[in-house]
Structure 1
Amino acid sequence: MTQLREYTEFSDGPLQFPIRGKVYTAPEIDIPTGMRLNGIVEGTADQDMNSVELGQLILGPVWDEMIADGVPLAAATRAVSVAMADFLYGREYAQAYWETGNDPKALEKRLAPNRASRRSTSTGGARKTR
């Protein structure tokens, strides 16, 4: 039987958002929240959620902390979007989203070099055509 490594040894851990000299640490998406977010994305759950409710769902108490600290709305909503992107697409995409604001051209430019290097990396299993 194969013993798997402890999840926390290789997971990315929680997202951290540096805003105005303070670092906000988002809680990792738990099972109930993840199921609800999947339902929203798939169109099988209530999609009439406003930005405040979505912020509270995804960031939990960090959303309230940002409000209390007077974080600009643009920064807070970007944090919510980045946490959602991390949940749906992974950390690499989330980091690119944080820095580009989901500008499609900027995201493509940022992610393209990494994708190209993954495609060109040999696994040693395939042989080149002669």
Structure 2
Amino acid sequence: MAFEELGELLDESIELPVGGRLYTVPAPSAEIGLRTQALIHAAAVAADGGRADEQVLGDAAERDLYRDVLGPAHDEMIADGVKWPTLKHAAITAMVWIAQDKTAAERYWTAAGDPSRLAPNRAARRSQSGAASSTPSRGSSSGTSTRPAPARGAGKKARKRH
């Protein structure tokens, strides 16, 4: 079995619908992809209270990362007068795609960047998982019953009174 051409196997672009137009964001160069992943990792470390690599964060600040990750779609959005929040959301969606995958980018896009909308709420998770619709009572952890306790005094040898 021979390997197929990799370009035929990978999604090498994402399409972002904005204001009735579809913007195509091509896959970035390896350099931009590696820099984007390093930046996202450094930001995650800093968000968790760790010490981020200041050189990585400094390098990212020196360059126009949004232009890099959006490619030609960046200039098209600017020419079309796209507002800042939209451009920013598109760029971060592209960064998620680069650092993770297309599915994660679609989730981010659909959630409009709102973290509370990224994870479904408990009711939605339960309805999708096929889990039980009610919780067993606290006294029953397995759903099985136990033998009833013997009546008071039953089963004990009667004590003799002296």
Q: What code does the residue aligned with 1:53 have?
A: D
Identity %: 28
Q: Which moved more, 1:52-61 or 1:27-36?
A: 52-61
Taking the aligned partners of 1:13 and 1:35, their CA distance within structure 2 comes to: 16
Matches within 5 A, 1:35-114: 35-43=34-42, 44=53, 45-48=55-58, 49-50=60-61, 53-109=64-120
Structure number with bigger Rg: 2
Moved over 4 A (4+): none
Q: Taking structure 1 as reference, are residues 40 and 93 closer, same or farther at Cα in structure 2, changes over 3 Å only?
A: same
Counterpart residue number, 2:157 = none
Identify unmatched segments of 5+ residues in structure 2.
Answer: 43-52, 130-162
Tell me the C-alpha RMSD between the 2 structures.
2.7
Counterpart CA distance in 2 for 1:8 and 1:27 is 13
CA distance in 1, matches of 2:27, 2:105: 14
Name the count of aligned residue pairs.
113
Gaps of 5+ in 1: 117-130
Higher helix share: 1
Please report how far the alpha carbon of residue 91 of structure 1 lies from its aligned counterpart in structure 2 after TM superposition: 1.0
Letter matched to residue 37 of structure 2: N
TM-score of the aligned structures, taking structure 2 as reference length = 0.59
